Amino acid sequence: MRQMLKKVLAIIILVIMFINNISLGVSSQDSQELQDKIDKTKEQLNDVNTTKTDTEKQVDNIQTKIDEYQGSIDSLNDQLDTLNTNITENEKKLEEQQKTYDKNSELLDQRLVTIYENGSVSYLDLLLSSSSLTEFISNYYLISELASYDLDLLEQIQNEQKQIEETKKSLENDKAETETLKSEKEVKTQELNATKQEKEKYIDDLEGEAKDLQADLAQFEKDKAAIDKRLEEIANANKKNNNNNGNNNSSNSGGNSSGGSSGGSSGTSAKGYICPIPGLSKANITCGFYGYSGHGGADFGGNYGKPVVAAKSGTVVISETLTGTIPNYDLNGNLIGKYRSYGEYIAILHDDGNITLYAHGKPGSRLVKEGQKVSQGQQIMTVGNTGNVSPRPTPSNPKGGAHLHFEVRVNGSQRVDPAKYLP
C-alpha cells in the first residue's frame, strides 16, 4: 500500500513538473517576443547614436577649418601691424628727408643765385686781384673749398632725392601690400563666418535629427502595436465568422483553396503562395525573418519601381499611408512626401486565415482599397522606400533604402517566417 502511494505521489509530481514546464515555455516565448522588441528598439537607438557620432565628427572637422581660418586671420593681422608700423616710420623718415632736402635745395639755390649775380668769371677775377703770391694761394684755396662745398652739396641733394624716391616706393609697396592683406583678411573672415554658420547648422541638424529619429522610433512602435491589434481583431472576426458558417467555411482555412488552382504551377509554394515580386523567390530575400532583432518579416532589397503583387488571393483589409517626418523624393530630387513606420502599406486577409502585409511602397502607388477582393498575382502597389527605411532617402540618392517588407501573420498579430510560405 505504501509503495502504491509512493508511485501515485511520484506521478503527481511529474505531472505538476510537466504542467510547469509548459507554462514556463509559454512565458518564455512571450518574454522572448518582448525582449526582441526591446532589442530592436535598442538597435535603432544605437543607429541614432551612430548618426549623432558621425555628425559630431563633421562638426569637429568644421571646427578644425574654423581654427585654420582664425589662425590665418591672426597671421594677417600680425603682418598688417608690421606693415602699418613700417608705413608710420617711413612717413616720418620721408618727412625728415624732405625737410633736409628742402633746406639743402634752398642753400644750393642761393649759391647759384650768388654765382649768377657775380658773373661767371668771378673766381678768375678773385685770383687776378691777388696782390701777392700768398694772397693768390689763399684765394685759390678759398675758391677750391667753395667749389668742393658746392659739389658736395649738389651730391648730397642728389642722394637725398634718391632716398626720398626709395622711401616713397617702399611706402607705396607697403600700402599696396596692406590693401592686398586687407582683401585677403576680408575673404578669410567671410569664409570663417560661413563655416561658423555651417557648424551651427550641423549642430541644429544633429539635435533635430536625433529628436526626429527618437520620435520616429517611438511612433513606429506605436504604429506596430496598433496594426498588430487591428489585424488581430480582423483575424478573430474572420475566424468567428467562419465558425458561425459551419464546417463548409472551416475547410477554406486549410490554406489551398485560394491558391489551389496554381498550387502545382511554377512559382507557387506548396502552401499556395507566390513571391510578392514577380520573377523572384525566397532565394532573393536580402534580410530574412529576424535577420536582425525584432524584424518580423522578409525584405527584398532594392527592386525600386518593380510591381508588388498579392502572394495569394484574398480580401484587402488595410490599404493606407502612414505620414510622418521621413522625407521621400522623386528621381529629380524633389520632395514628394513625408512618411513614417510602414509608409505606404497593404494587408490582405486570405481564406486560410493568414494575413500578408506589404510595406514601404512607392508614394501613391497603392492600387487597391480596403474591402476589395484581389486575385493571386494581381498588382497591388510598387516597390518604394516610404516610411522607416535605412539608409534614409536623400535628394542625391532618392532610391536610398528601397525594398519590399513582406510579412505573413497567423491570427493577425503572430508573425511567422515568410520564407516557409514562398517558393
pLDDT of residue 370: 96
User: One-letter amino acid identity for 185?
Assistant: K
pLDDT of residue 380: 98
Specify burial of residue 356 (Cβ count, 10 A radius: 0-12, 13-18, 19+). buried
Higher pLDDT, 199 or 115: 199
Higher pLDDT, 281 or 88: 281
Going from the N-terminus, what domains does the chain have, and what CATH number goes with each? 35-244 (1.10.287), 258-423 (2.70.70.10)
Residue 319 binned pLDDT confidence (cut-offs 50, 70, 90): very high
In angstroms, the Cα distances linking 405 to 31, 146, 307, 387 are 25, 111, 13, 11
Determine the average pLDDT of the residues in 284-299: 85
pLDDT of residue 17: 47
Residue 176 binned pLDDT confidence (cut-offs 50, 70, 90): confident
Q: What is the pTM of this model?
A: 0.51
Distance CA 351, CA 377 (A): 16
pLDDT of residue 203: 64
Cα 214 versus chain centre, distance: 17
Distance CA 228, CA 238 (A): 15
pLDDT of residue 22: 37
Specify burial of residue 240 (Cβ count, 10 A radius: 0-12, 13-18, 19+). exposed
Output the DSSP codes for 259-304: TGGGTTSTTB-TTS-B-SSTT--GGG-SB-TTSSTT--SEEEE--T
| 3-class state of residue 415 by DSSP | strand
CA atoms within 13 A on the CB side of 177: 16
CB 360 within 8 A of CB 343: yes
- Per-residue pLDDT for 386 more than 80? yes
The angle at the Cα of 159, spanning 158 to 160, to the nearest 5 degrees, equals 90
- pLDDT tens for each residue of 110-166: 655 665 555 544 555 555 565 666 655 665 556 566 566 666 666 776 776 777 778
Nearest to 188 by CA among 78, 83, 60, 67: 67
Higher pLDDT, 42 or 379: 379
As a whole number of Å, the end-to-end CA separation of the chain is 61
- pLDDT tens for each residue of 70-100: 777 777 677 767 867 877 876 776 677 677 7
pLDDT of residue 105: 64
- Ranked by mean pLDDT, the top range of 30-39, 59-68, 351-360 is 351-360
CB 48 within 8 A of CB 210: yes
Determine the average pLDDT of the residues in 367-381: 97
Residues 6+ apart with CB under 8 A from 229: 413
- Per-residue pLDDT for 260 more than 80? no
Give the bridge partners for 381, in sequence order. 308
Distance CA 286, CA 42 (A): 22
- pLDDT tens for each residue of 9-54: 444 444 444 434 433 333 344 444 444 545 555 555 565 555 555 5
